[in-house]
Amino acid sequence: MYAKNSRRKAKAGSVQVSDRRGYLRIIFTYGGKRHFMATGFPNTPLNRKLAQETAFQIQRDIEYGEFDPTYQKYKPQSALTTVEDATPLPTAMPTLSELWAQYSEVRKLGKSPSTVRMYGWVANHLERCPLQSPNDPQAIFDWLCGHVPPESTKRVLMQLSACCKWARNSGLLNSNPFDGMAAKVKIKKTGTEEEEINPFTKEERDRIIVAFKENRYYKYYAPLVEFLFYTGCRPSEAVALQWKHIGTSTVTFERALVYGGRAGLVLKKGLKTQERRKFPVNSQLTTLLKAIRPFKCDPETPVFPSRQGKLIDWHNFTNRAWMTVLKSLPDIEYRNPYQTKHTFCSLCRAGDIPSIQIAKWVGTSPEMIDRVYAKPTDHIQVPEL
């Protein structure tokens, strides 16, 4: 009884709920005339249910001869009209928190746990803000700048802009008051763990691997450290590997272990920049994988489990195993374990492997490889052109 197409005519004697530019209206025929009742309600699941109940009542009264010709019985908050382009009565403007709740409910379907967690993070900031009207964008901007760190302020404003753009397209707002406002937030540029490029040398890499193997408490993690250095994969991809992903000639990366807020560590399908990636297994990697493969190997078990047989908590690994072992090598500058990826890329680039090939192996762009790792090499001769 609900029609999405507002142009479709209702059958004679029937009552329908229809969407008209994001707002609900009721269509019915009575006394030989077609009527359009603007409800003034935005098209939301709750409002559709309320409008449907009114439509059923109108249908019932028409069939039983109890129809109210004044229409007040059915439409106390808006007016009945027989004009096609009836204008809905104005409704109270929703608050930012209300808009965000509707927006996140629509958007979160199919999103990763980290994205859903981000929706809740924005909601928490909006609940703290004493200003809730979309008509006060500058005041809200000022409050955020005074109460929230610049990086977070910029992210909140970007999300508010996306939310209000959706609200405008849905007929809930007439404009997007936060459009372009995030660009006004100036933040000091600092690199993330992934962006901080400071690779180890080959000698440093080999010494770190040996140090793990010889460490009384953390030698258990030596194969994981070797694997990270030999493949250049992201740590979140390595700890998510199962034995079913290990083939004789390739390793297939198709999952990542991410932090899901209250849900803790969760496995996410797909990788950061792609759905899946295959990495060729060379003799060096073959030796490593054969050495750690269980005699009775369950395809579903992790390749690099924790001591308890569960998924490795990367934060704990970094703060305990990695930091402890690196401290035992005081002549090697401490770097975070993400540098295993950068070390692999750097050594490949020094070996004259094409950027496009390295990028395919580690799941990044050739431009990134060239910009970060490319260095002039004296032994390459100028070709005769």
**pLDDT above 70 for 78:** no
Residue 74 in tokens? 């059915």
Per-residue pLDDT at 121: 87
Give residue limits of the domains in the chain. Answer: 2-81, 96-184, 202-373
Per-residue pLDDT at 4: 52
**Least-confidence region, from 9-23, 30-44, 237-251:** 9-23
Report the distance separating Cα 91 and Cα 273, nearest Å.
43
Question: What is the average pLDDT score of the chain?
Answer: 81
Among 245, 249, 265, CA closest to 257: 265
| CATH class of this structure's domain 202-373 | mainly alpha
Residue range 134-182, pLDDT digits in tens: 888 999 999 998 888 888 888 899 999 999 999 888 888 888 999 989 8
* Residue 138, phi then psi, degrees to nearest 5: -70, -40
Task: Judge if 96-184 and 202-373 fold alike in CATH terms.
Answer: no
**pLDDT above 90 for 113:** no
Residue range 265-290, pLDDT digits in tens: 677 788 877 788 999 999 999 999 99
87 or 52, higher pLDDT:
52
Q: Provide the whole-model pTM.
A: 0.52
Per-residue pLDDT at 37: 73
**Least-confidence region, from 18-32, 61-75, 217-231, 346-360:** 61-75
CATH number of the structural domain 96-184: 1.10.150
Confidence of residue 43 (pLDDT cuts 50, 70, 90): confident
User: Taking a C-beta distance cutoff of 8 angstroms, is the pair 303, 239 a contact?
Assistant: no
**Which helix (H) or strand (E) is 54 found in, with range?**
helix 45-63
Average pLDDT over residues 8-17: 61
